[in-house]
């Protein structure tokens, strides 16, 4: 079976990390070998970049372009060191966030020019993209209240509500344009979220089986 690359996207507190564990276990039950990773991060170097972009530094703001480039540096590292080698070995890969986060957060939230993101994206990743993106759609207020329940907030989680409203708008625009992005109603209870996840995974598995039939 061809290995697939699945990405989980959405605002803070939408339930991506919770879902990653559920999806990993569900795929393993289907005898599928799974490698999980996250963004920014996933490798030793990329995790160092994660710390840089998540923590505020006194008296020196991280410029918007620096933030975007650091995100792509971490992404290229994760892609070349973890994601592509795993797929080449026939292992499925699940990533907690991937490039859609840059379009949504740096493009929507921070209002960087989308054309600039596209240019950097093309240089870094070319045509490489996930087979399936599960977009966890949630009201920003609800997601943030869940994230607050987890403890101290990072540099992104401290943004104003408008930032997350703009971020969500870009996610929703991308969802409407790309049929490899599937919407998950993340405002529901965990059992109902999991039922939606199983449905999306079963659809992916069925499409694979039909491709394999002569
Ligand atoms: N469907 C749900 N209903 C209620 N609580 C949930 C649900 N899904 C996750 N949670 C809880 O909400 C909190 C945030 O979930 P999680 O960490 O999975 O979100 P996330 O999308 O990974 O957020 P972040 O982007 O900040 O990492 C956790 O405490 C989790 O247990
Ligand atoms: Mg998370």
Residue with token string 């530094």? 57
**Residue minimizing CA distance to atom 15 of ligand 1:** 15
pLDDT confidence of residue 153 = 78
C-alpha–C-alpha distance, residues 89 and 2, integer Å: 10
pTM of the model: 0.96
Instruction: Answer yes or no: are the C-beta atoms of 8 and 132 closer than 8 Å.
Output: no
pLDDT digit string (tens) for 125-146? Answer: 999 999 999 999 999 999 999 9
Which helix (H) or strand (E) element contains residue 7? strand 5-10
**Residue minimizing CA distance to atom 8 of ligand 1:** 15
Which helix (H) or strand (E) element contains residue 35? strand 34-38
**Residue minimizing CA distance to atom 31 of ligand 1:** 18
Task: Quote the ligand 2 centre to 209 CA distance (angstroms).
Answer: 31
Q: Which residues line ligand 1 (CB under 6 A)?
A: 10, 12-18, 146-147, 149-150, 189-190, 193
To test the pocket of ligand 1, the residue of 18, 105, 171 to mutate (highest count of ligand atoms within 8 Å of its CB) is 18
pLDDT digit string (tens) for 55-64? Answer: 989 999 999 9
C-alpha–C-alpha distance, residues 18 and 76, integer Å: 25
| Helical segments of the chain, H only | 16-29, 44-54, 64-78, 84-88, 99-101, 114-125, 140-148, 161-177, 190-212
pLDDT confidence of residue 56 = 85
pLDDT confidence of residue 83 = 98
pLDDT confidence of residue 157 = 82
Give every strand in the sheet of 92-96, ordered side by side. Answer: 34-38, 92-96, 5-10, 132-137, 181-185
Task: Quote the ligand 1 centre to 159 CA distance (angstroms).
Answer: 18
Pick the atom of ligand 1 nearest to 8's CA: 21
pLDDT confidence of residue 209 = 85
Instruction: Give residues with Cβ within 8 angstroms of 38, minimum separation 6.
Output: 17, 20, 95, 96, 97
To test the pocket of ligand 1, the residue of 39, 146, 190, 194 to mutate (highest count of ligand atoms within 8 Å of its CB) is 146
For the CA of 197, the nearest ligand: 1
| Helical segments of 55-102, H only | 64-78, 84-88, 99-101
Peptide bond between residue 51 and the one before it cis (omega within 30 degrees of 0): no
Tell me which residues of the chain have a pLDDT lower than 50.
none
Hey, what domains does the chain have and what are their CATH numbers? Answer: 5-212 (3.40.50.300)
């Amino acid at each position: 079976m061809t290995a697939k690359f699945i990405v989980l996207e959405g605002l803070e507190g939408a339930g991506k990390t919770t879902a990653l564990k559920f999806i990993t276990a569900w795929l393993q039950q289907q005898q599928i070998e799974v490698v999980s990773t996250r963004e920014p991060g996933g490798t030793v170097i990329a995790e160092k970049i994660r710390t840089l972009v998540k923590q505020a530094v006194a008296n020196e703001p991280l410029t918007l372009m620096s933030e975007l480039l650091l995100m792509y540096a971490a992404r290229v590292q994760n892609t070349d060191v973890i994601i592509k080698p795993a797929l080449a070995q026939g292992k499925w890969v699940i990533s907690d966030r991937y490039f859609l986060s840059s379009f949504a957060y740096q493009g929507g939230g921070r209002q960087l020019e989308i054309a600039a993101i596209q240019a950097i994206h093309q240089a870094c990743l070319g045509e490489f993209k996930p087979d399936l993106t599960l977009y966890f759609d949630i009201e920003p207020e609800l997601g943030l209240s869940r994230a607050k329940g987890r403890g101290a907030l990072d540099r992104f989680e401290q943004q104003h509500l408008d930032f997350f409203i703009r971020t969500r708008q870009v996610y929703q625009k991308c969802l409407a344009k790309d049929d490899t992005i599937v919407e998950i109603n993340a405002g529901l209870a965990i059992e109902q979220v999991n039922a939606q996840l199983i449905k999306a995974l079963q659809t992916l598995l069925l499409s694979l089986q039909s491709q394999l039939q002569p």
